[in-house]
């Protein structure tokens, strides 16, 4: 187990499920942590857990990824507080049953799962490069197979199906990871993403059918710790690959052109425009 003493790691969506397990895994390796979530009480509880597991310091930041201004404020706070950023783990995400729009005018799932982590990554990029060798790790999903991604309708205005909307956001995560890796070649910063497997988390629990399905599937469900294992591996161990999609600590095949360079560049530029970056 690689010791991360002297390293600073940011984990978004850190208050439950895979995010909490990611934070705990990094704490056990003695990383200093910056934990991001929406619930201040849960942030405090997870911070205490991580300190008890060996994290030398834990900062917490409340942020709702459904509000882009909060993401911008979060980036400012992180840059003020953290002289270096060794690892950024983009884990925050959600799934909903009905189409909703954010205060920024974007479809909720695409904003929370893709636009907000994209914006945060862009705003922290100079600090990551200055801290190199550094890493960006993104929690993706095999739900990307439910794409494809329609670049003329990121916001699902032509029809909203929960699984497809979630899958499109995860496909965008993989495309963005690969494009980020291409753009960062030679800087000492790498980017990879991973599929955690079928994990019992709070995603999908706002629907009766989802609750019933989870009860039936319980014998086959991974624990959050098991699901987070590949993410912790990518954040801490020597990984030769860059811009890849992992499952069970190994590069895994993708579908729907998830690693296509032309599509990745298009998604990168479109997301920049949607969040107001060049």
Sign of the Cα torsion 213, 111, 119, 81 reads negative
Percentage of residues in the chain having pLDDT higher than 90:
89
> Domain with 131 in it: what CATH number?
3.40.50.720
Please confirm, yes or no, whether 166 is among the known catalytic residues. Answer: yes
Whether 84 is in a domain gets the answer yes
Residue 208 has pLDDT above 60, yes or no: no
Bridge-based pairing of strands 8-12 and 134-139 is unpaired
Q: Which residue has the higher pLDDT, 211 or 105?
A: 105
Whether 1 is in a domain gets the answer no
Whether 126 is in a domain gets the answer yes
pLDDT in tens, 98-112: 999 999 999 999 999
pLDDT in tens, 123-168: 999 999 999 999 999 999 999 999 789 999 999 999 999 999 999 9
Whether 25 is in a domain gets the answer yes
Whether 50 is in a domain gets the answer yes
Give residue 181's pLDDT band: very low, low, confident or very high (50, 70, 90).
very high
**Domain boundaries, position 146:** 8-275
Q: Which residue has the higher pLDDT, 217 or 237?
A: 237
pLDDT in tens, 60-94: 999 999 999 999 999 999 999 999 999 999 999 99
Of 25-39, 158-172, 212-226, the poorest mean pLDDT is in 212-226
Whether 3 is in a domain gets the answer no
Integer angstrom CA distances of residue 9 from 15, 176, 195: 15, 20, 20
* Catalytic entry in 61, 166, 245, 247: 166
Output the six-digit token pair for 69. Answer: 């201004």
Q: Into how many domains does the chain fold?
A: 1
DSSP 132: -
Neighbours of 16 (CB within 10 A): 17
Whether 261 is in a domain gets the answer yes
HSE value, Cβ hemisphere, 13 Å, CA-based, for 151: 14
CA distance 170 to 164: 10
Return all residues near 84 (Cβ < 8 A) that are at least 6 apart.
Answer: 8, 127, 130, 131
């Amino acid at each position: 187990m690689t010791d991360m003493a002297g390293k600073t790691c940011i984990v978004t969506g850190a208050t439950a499920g895979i995010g909490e397990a990611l934070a705990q895994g990094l704490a056990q390796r003695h990383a200093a942590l910056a934990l991001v979530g929406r619930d201040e009480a849960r942030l405090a509880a997870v911070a205490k857990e991580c300190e008890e597991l060996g994290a030398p310091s834990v900062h917490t930041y409340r942020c709702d990824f459904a509000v882009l201004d909060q993401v911008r404020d979060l980036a400012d706070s992180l840059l003020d507080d953290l002289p270096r950023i060794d690892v950024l783990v983009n884990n925050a995400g959600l799934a909903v049953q009905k189409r909703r729009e954010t205060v920024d005018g974007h479809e909720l799932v695409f904003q929370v799962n893709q636009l907000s982590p994209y914006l945060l990554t862009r705003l922290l990029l100079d600090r990551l490069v200055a801290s190199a060798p550094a890493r960006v790790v993104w929690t993706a999903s095999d739900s990307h197979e439910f794409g494809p991604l329609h670049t003329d309708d990121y916001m699902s205005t032509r029809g909203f199906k929960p699984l497809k909307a979630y899958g499109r956001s995860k496909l965008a995560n993989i495309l963005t990871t690969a494009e980020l890796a291409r753009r960062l070649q030679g800087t000492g910063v790498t980017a990879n993403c991973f599929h955690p497997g079928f994990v019992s988390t709070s995603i999908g629990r706002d629907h009766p059918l989802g609750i019933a399905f989870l009860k039936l599937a319980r014998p086959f469900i991974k624990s959050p710790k098991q699901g987070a294992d590949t993410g912790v591996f990518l954040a801490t161990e020597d990984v030769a690959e860059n811009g890849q999609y992992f499952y069970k600590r190994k590069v895994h095949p993708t579908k729907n052109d998830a690693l296509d360079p032309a599509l990745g560049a298009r998604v990168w530029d479109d997301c920049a425009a949607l969040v107001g970056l060049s």
